[in-house]
Amino acid sequence: MKFATPVRLLLVATVMFFAGQAADAADAKKFKAFHTIVDYAFMKDVATIPPRADALVVDSRPARKHDGGHIPGTLNISDSKFAKMTDLLPADKAQLLVFYCQGVKCSLSHKSAYKAEKLGYTNVKVYAAGYPDWAKNGGLTGVSTKFVKKLIDKKTDMLLVDSRPARKAKKGFVPTAIIIPDSQFKKMTDKLPADKGKLLVFYCGGLKCKLSPKSANKAIALGYTNVKVYQAGYPAWKKAYGAKKAAAIVAGPDGDTIAIASFEEILKNSPDSIHIIDVRDADEFAQGSFPGSSNIPVDELEAKIAGLPSDKPIVFVCATGARSGEAFDMVKMERDALKVFFLDAEITHTKGQPSEIKAAS
């Protein structure tokens, strides 16, 4: 009798399992499945970056679904708007068309495939397992221009990375992005967050650019678990929202400091245009600092002045403006030609919150 309860539970679980399978089968039969179905292995060869000239992969889901997660480089033609968007389909009716949507229970890709055949397309297929299967198999997740804009506007806790060479990125970039050229990725991993679960979004020069997918895969190999690719990249951003160039530094009245408003603007829109060096002690720095900043305690700075970078301006920061001002004076005595500033302000760093900057009293 002591085995009666486990046996009953096993029987109930078995019944529920087969009932679930039957329900899935019934759902699948509610629509007419397209006759040519392809799998993930097929899609890996078709959904490439840059996109293949002889193939077009179409996401048949509504835009709201596509925006937050799709196969990179694919075209979004919602099935409900198919008739109004046929001008986006290729002129060559023999070109390969592959439609996908939200998985085996989703009928949208099948419906769109039949519509394409009625228009005379002769090489039409459906990736029935769709986007969920793509993600499950480790395919990169793409996001749209609209989605990236929403993340920025909501001040989402993320790291947006421009994977293009610095000379290219500095001519125009997506606001809040930092520059980590793919060719320099291994040397600049210190710019990546310690939190491996933090959202990372990589972009580069558009659909034909392979730099952002390469960098995204490198980040995944390092253990980052929430990585996305904005494959439309800067060209799409510029077309939708205009160009954004690095903000110029506005110095304080004495010329040695950086104006607080100028520092905040640069931190928000072009943080990679300056080097931020936090001269507090290591234990203070570990409690929080500005994104992308490096730590050289003021007591150690003198021995490291010769090695300070000269490729862009340096801004020294601390907690009150005292140690950062001392750092400025030390550097100007040794390397007067170096472009340096310090932030004369009271600064409070709270984990999970934007840093608070107030004018020094």
DSSP string, 239-302: HHH----PPPP-B-TTSSBBPHHHHHHHHHH-GGGSEEEE-S-HHHHHT---TT-EE--HHHHG
Q: What is the pLDDT averaged over residues 167-180?
A: 86
pLDDT of residue 270: 80
pLDDT score of 5 more than 80: no
Same domain flag for 224 and 284: no
Residue 22, in any domain of the structure: no
Total of domains in the chain = 3
Q: What is the mean pLDDT of the chain?
A: 90
Ranking 117-121, 157-161, 180-184, 244-248 by mean pLDDT, the lowest is 244-248
Please tell me the predicted confidence (pLDDT) of residue 8.
54
Confirm whether 248 is domain-assigned. Answer: no
**27 has a pLDDT exceeding 50:** no
Plot region of 264 (φ>0 → left; ψ -120 to 50 → alpha; else → beta):
alpha
Is 19 within a domain?
A: no
Q: Are 79 and 112 in contact (CB under 8 A)?
A: yes
Please tell me the distance from the alpha carbon of residue 23 to that of residue 238, in angstroms, as a whole number: 47
Same domain flag for 264 and 352 = yes
Q: Which residues contact residue 268 at a Cβ distance below 8 angstroms, ignoring those fewer than 6 apart? A: 175, 176
- pLDDT band, very low/low/confident/very high, at 23 (cuts 50, 70, 90): very low
Q: In one letter, which amino acid is 13?
A: A
Residue 297: inside a domain, yes or no?
yes
Residue 21's pLDDT is 42
- Check: CB of residue 236 under 8 Å from CB of residue 245: no
Residue 158 has pLDDT above 60, yes or no: yes
Who has greater pLDDT, 352 or 79? 79
Q: Do 330 and 313 share a structural domain?
A: yes
104 with 192, same domain: the answer is no
Across the range 182-202, mean pLDDT stands at 94
Give percent helix, percent strand, percent coil of the chain, each to the nearest 5. 40, 15, 40
Q: What is the mean pLDDT of residues 272-293?
A: 92
Handedness of CA 184, 203, 103, 53 (dihedral sign): negative
Q: For residue 319, give the nearest of 356, 267, 273 by alpha carbon.
A: 356
Inside any domain, residue 247: no
- For the ranges 23-32, 67-76, 90-99, 221-230, the lowest mean pLDDT is seen at 23-32
Single residue among 136, 165, 188 that ends a domain in this structure: 136
Tens of pLDDT along 116-128? 999 999 999 999 9
Element (H, E) at 59: strand 55-59
Q: Is residue 284 part of a domain?
A: yes
- Domain assignment of residue 223, given as a range: 141-241
Residue range 195-234, pLDDT digits in tens: 999 999 999 999 999 999 999 999 999 999 999 999 999 9
With cut-offs at 50, 70 and 90, classify the pLDDT of residue 278: very high
Query: What are the phi and psi torsion angles at 99 (to 5°)?
Result: -105, 145
Looking at the chain, the whole-number percentage of residues with pLDDT higher than 90 is 73
Same domain, 176 and 210: yes
What's the whole-model pTM score?
A: 0.67
**The domain boundary residue, chosen from 117, 136, 155:** 136
Q: Pull the structure tokens for residue 85.
A: 């968007």
pLDDT at 11 over 70: no
Let me know whether 165 and 106 are in one domain: no
Residue with tokens 């002769």: 122
Domain CATH for 74 = 3.40.250.10
Tell me, yes or no, whether 232 and 318 share the same domain.
Answer: no
Q: Is the pLDDT of residue 15 over 60?
A: no
Share of the chain above pLDDT 70, in %: 91
For residue 65, what pLDDT band results from cuts at 50, 70 and 90? very high
Q: Is residue 290 part of a domain?
A: yes
pLDDT band per the 50, 70, 90 thresholds, residue 245: low
